[in-house]
Amino acid sequence: MTKFKIAILLLILPLFTGKLSAQYTPPKVEKSNKKEIVEGVEFYLHRVQERETLYSISKVYEVAIEQIIADNPTLAEGLKKGATIYIRVKKEEITPQSPPPISDPTISDPTKSAPLAGDPPIVIHRVRWFETLASIASKYGVEPEEIISFNSLKEGKVSTRQLLKIPPKSYTPTVASIEREERETVTDTLHRERAPITERIEKALYSKGRYSTIVAKLLLPLNSSEIVSEEWQEEMSSPFIEFYQGFLTALIDLKKRFPTLRLDLEVIDSDATTIEKIIGEGRLERADIIIGPIYKEELKKVLNYTKGREVAVVSPLDPESEEFIYKSPHFFQVNTPTLLEQRGVLSKLAKSANIVVIEERMAGASHPIAIESKESLTDGGFEFKELSYTITEGRSIGQKIENLLSENSLNQVVVASENEAFVSDVLRNLNLIAANSNFKLALFGTPRWRTFESIDISHYHNMELSIALQYSVDWGSHRVNLFLEKYRSLFLSEPSPYSFQGYDIASYFLGNMWKVGRRFLESSDQYNEELLQSGFRFIRESGQVGYTNHSIRYLHYNPDYSISVESGNRGTF
């Protein structure tokens, strides 16, 4: 039986993570024998295999990762299985792009130092699309926070082609910049270790309910390859190993944030035994928090065992375990229910707009998404028009849709369906209407639309689709990029959504339990955090004894083919 038990001490954790990476080594990369000459440069044509990484590919071909990325712009979307990428036969330096003119007359060349009177020279750096704050700082031998302070950056983000002033190595961040950093959210990896006086004050406030050591149990089917979330349809050998790797990465960061943290963690492979046996052997005794099991039926047995005990039980992935919030105190449903996500996106509608709800006509009752959409709009005092039809009517339905639209106001169209074929038909009709008229259209859909493969993504952007969902990664975030670098160095692979989920859950629950103590279990609604992939806003609604996550992120598809992300609570009308 696979079993890991970790005492989180400063010296033990690095040894443990080293063990884990050994059992998850990417497969051997086979060098391609296919070549092609492009603009006088000879390239290998490499077809990406499952679980290969840019790191492992670069080592086999002896080409820098930066060069591979520069030669393959599509890698901005990530390394995908089955994709063919170009790799230079001979190592060559990346040719820098010619920068456009710079408005600052004191700077003549962004690649050279621009001396200012009485000050040391300042280097101007133009950000390339694959660069992060951390990589830029490393290149110039300074700290990321120094660049943040020197350029007055907000949230530690940089964008492609942005000009950054690189501070001299003698630069010291101002008091104001340090104070701003210390006001950042506690999960921010740039957050400084608190001063001793702060720790003494916190200890005095919470000492009565503090844990001397947090005893945690993590129950995962480590050898399973089953995918739990439909939003994360990726091929991987074991998504739960990747969840575990993200969890371990969070433990390293937690140790930095809380140097006094004591954690007794046991990871139990639920594939190798039964819940009854785990309970019978007393392995859940003394637990302060149990994360898992993954599946509803196993989770039910754990909740029966913890009844009457002051133990936090976290459902990390399965959306079907929502029913337990009505039965079990200290139960945390991490997945935001789909209907709450839908209510959230509808909160973005404008009462001044012409609102049209389109749903698929079904033999029995309407789809829950359609029911929830219309009930929420009615409860919010919105006026709306309705249309339901079957796919077989699709070729003749365009005129019926057009009759419901207004030429004098914005038309906000809510397509209350998760049927890919039906949604595709609606978008086809709306696209034809938009092309042949002056109607102003804005589209509202559901999170599952992101998994649709047959729909032209340009339709989403043309009609400025808005959806609300729990999971979305801001790849320009400094915190995300720090996580990526750390994860890659530990496990020599790219993190999956399961890796991000493991990191977020460990950061939130273990961090808050140590920081706040036992009262966290009764006041979790006071500890709202935005993490890497999702936010946590746990609320006990009327009739509930457990907590439901109400955090969502709004995605808006812009006409310029960019996607805007906004964090927030489940919307209210």
First and final CA of the chain: distance in angstroms? 51
Q: What would the two tokens of residue 152 be?
A: 């007055």
* Residue owning tokens 């609320």: 539
Please name which of 424, 459, 453 lies closest in space to residue 561, comparing C-alpha atoms: 459
203-242 tens-digit pLDDT = 444 444 788 899 999 999 987 766 565 555 555 557 889 9
pLDDT given for residue 198 in this prediction:
42
Average pLDDT over residues 175-203: 39
* Residue owning tokens 């492609």: 160
> Do 113-182 and 340-469+559-564 fold alike per CATH?
no
Angle of the 497-505 helix axis to the 239-257 helix axis, nearest 10? 40
Please name which of 226, 216, 241, 303 lies closest in space to residue 2, comparing C-alpha atoms: 241
Q: Is the pLDDT of residue 249 over 90?
A: yes
CATH superfamily placement of domain 196-336+475-536: Response regulator (3.40.50.2300)
* Residue owning tokens 């959210």: 185
512-541 tens-digit pLDDT = 999 888 888 888 888 899 999 989 999 887
Q: Is the dihedral of CA 252, 253, 258, 264 positive or negative?
A: negative
**Burial class of 135 by CB neighbour count within 10 A (0 to 12, 13 to 18, 19+):** middle
Where along the chain do its domains lie? 31-96, 113-182, 196-336+475-536, 340-469+559-564
pLDDT given for residue 206 in this prediction:
44
**Alpha carbon distance 394, 381 (integer Å):** 30
Most confident of 12-21, 31-40, 379-388: 379-388
Q: Is the pLDDT of residue 266 over 80?
A: yes
Q: What would the two tokens of residue 107 be?
A: 């700077």
* Residue owning tokens 């690649």: 111
Average pLDDT over residues 257-281: 91
What length is written for the chain? 573
**Alpha carbon distance 503, 483 (integer Å):** 9
Q: Is the pLDDT of residue 455 over 80?
A: yes
DSSP 8-state assignment for residue 309:
S
For residue 89, what is the enclosing H or E element?
none
**Alpha carbon distance 260, 214 (integer Å):** 12
Q: What would the two tokens of residue 406 be?
A: 């207004």
**Burial class of 249 by CB neighbour count within 10 A (0 to 12, 13 to 18, 19+):** buried
pLDDT given for residue 128 in this prediction:
72
| Mean pLDDT across the chain | 78
**Alpha carbon distance 511, 507 (integer Å):** 5
pLDDT given for residue 83 in this prediction:
84
Q: Is the pLDDT of residue 7 over 50?
A: no
Please name which of 36, 73, 44, 75 lies closest in space to residue 60, comparing C-alpha atoms: 44
Facing residues of 568 across strands? 552
Average pLDDT over residues 402-427: 92
pLDDT given for residue 226 in this prediction:
64
* Residue owning tokens 């079957």: 390
82-127 tens-digit pLDDT = 888 888 886 544 444 333 333 333 333 333 333 334 445 567 777 7
CATH number of 113-182: 3.10.350.10
CATH of range 340-469+559-564; options 3.40.640.10, 3.40.50.2300, 3.40.800.20, 3.30.360.10: 3.40.50.2300
pLDDT given for residue 293 in this prediction:
93
Q: Which residues of 61-90 are buried (b: 16+ CB within 10 A; e: fewer)?
A: bebebbbbbbbbeebeeebeeeeebebbee
CATH 3.40.50.1970 fits 31-96, yes or no: no
DSSP 8-state assignment for residue 129:
T
Q: Are strands 3-7 and 263-269 parallel, antiparallel or unpaired?
A: antiparallel
Cβ–Cβ < 8 Å for 314, 534? no
* Residue owning tokens 């983000």: 157
Record the pTM: 0.61
Rg of the Cα atoms in the chain:
26
Phi-psi region of 161 (alpha: psi -120 to 50; beta: other; left: phi over 0): left
- Listed range (3-12, 33-42, 204-213, 530-539) with the worst mean pLDDT: 3-12
